[in-house]
Structure 1
Amino acid sequence: MKDNITFFNVYTFFEFNLFALIYYQLIKEKIRLVILKVLMITFNTVYFLSFYFDFYILYTIPLEGVFNSIIVILFFVDLLNSDEILNYKKLLSFWISVSFLIFYLTSVPFWSLYYSSIFETRAMFPIIYYLATIFQLIFIYGLLACKKTESLY
């Protein structure tokens, strides 16, 4: 069990940082990029503190969900202020962001309740499976519905 927690903790680190780097490339506004950097530094600080203080491990997963949701909202605000909003249905980044937002906003309460030991059984875990299915279906729809962009190479 301890090996699984360590593996999941390492996975969380890479998941958040890759997520943040993708949105760092998508967001254009400088103020939003500064907010994204602050979120990255804060999350990584809490993450590395979790190795020394076991109590922080309980906060890494819910904190990742909250920060990822904030990053997606920053992207949506950036998208709303750009000319790309006219063809948002054809943007793969829009559909990916919708799927991330739905998944992370709804999974934060679940993981918060789970780590606070309010429910001890695995009876609520089908909720996460359904959320992951919806996440993947929206992702697939985005891949199918978006127009192919021309490569620069």
Structure 2
Amino acid sequence: MCNKAPQQRRVAPPFRAGYRQRRTLGYSCSVITSQAKLIFGVDMEMESRIFSVTEYIRPSDGEPIRSVVLETKDSAVVVWHAHPGQEITAHVHPDGQDTWTVISGEAEYYQGGGKVAHLKAGDIAIAKPGQVHGALNTSPVPFVFVSVVASGNAGFALAEK
């Protein structure tokens, strides 16, 4: 709303005839932004809303790296990178859902009870609260995915594959 050219109204203070002040729906952009910050806890003018997955990829020769994009009380958005043969250990989030969107590579996706599904680029896997999930990169290229866990305090516990 603040980026659009707002309608301009003429305001003529006694000391400066012809003075113009830009307003949007009767509120200045700084007032709208301040109210959004109070309501949502986010500075809408300063906070980026678009992220590049490639900027968050953190290859590691040890365990796969969890690179945090954004973490709030409502959710955690992270990018995972697993080299061929690396594993994201089976686990659960007792109080939250974990949604994976696969960007590249392939993996065997653990679902608990010995059940496994095959994931590939373009797939979305959803683990509801308490459902086992994890993965083993079975492809010759890195397995990269974006994970969104909601709520932000979903908890974490290791689990059997």
TM-score (structure 1 length as normaliser): 0.22
The structure with the greater share of residues assigned to strand is 2
Question: Larger radius of gyration, structure 1 or 2?
Answer: 2
Normalised TM-score (structure 2): 0.21
More helix by share: 1
